[in-house]
Amino acid sequence: MSDSPAPSPELVAELSRRTDVCWVVQAAGTRMVWHTWADDALCVVSGGDEQPLLEVDDGSWVEVVLRSRDTGGRLITWPGRVSVVRPSDAGWEPVTAALVAARLNLLDPDRAPHRWAAGSVVHRITFCPRR
């Protein structure tokens, strides 16, 4: 993981809202994923019929790399803490609604949260600079 200073929470939120693809870096490797910014976190759905993501456990640390839509150049890299959003969690509905709204070419958007509950994992990655 990077030793560079972490950006401000405001910068992380603003740039995360302006991108829809990021790279999630962890010890096992790096994976490009689509995401949306919701509930003060980067939200990602993976597994099942959705995009693959390396095994990311609840509470684990990752780095998120955001790149410019225009140039492809790296904008920022920030440390994040992963939490799994479960269907029984209060945050499930707002997070999955934001993911449905952000997802391009989603088949049957009304049923997507049900499909995700049955066969995918919804993650929130919260900016959390290590101290």
What pLDDT was estimated at residue 61?
92
3 inside domain: no
What's the CATH code of the domain at 62?
A: 2.30.110.10
79-110 pLDDT, tens digit per residue, is: 999 999 999 999 999 999 999 999 988 889 99
pTM: 0.90
Q: Which is nearest to 82 in space by CA: 108, 113, 115, 46?
A: 46
Residues 44 and 53: their CA atoms lie apart, in Å, by 9
Structural domain containing residue 92: 9-127
39-75 pLDDT, tens digit per residue, is: 899 999 999 989 888 778 889 999 999 988 888 788 8
Higher pLDDT among residues 12 and 57, named by residue: 12
62 inside domain: yes
Instruction: Give whole-number Cα distances, 42 to 16, 17, 49, in Å.
Output: 7, 9, 20
Residues 116 and 99: their CA atoms lie apart, in Å, by 11
Count of structural domains, the chain: 1
24 inside domain: yes
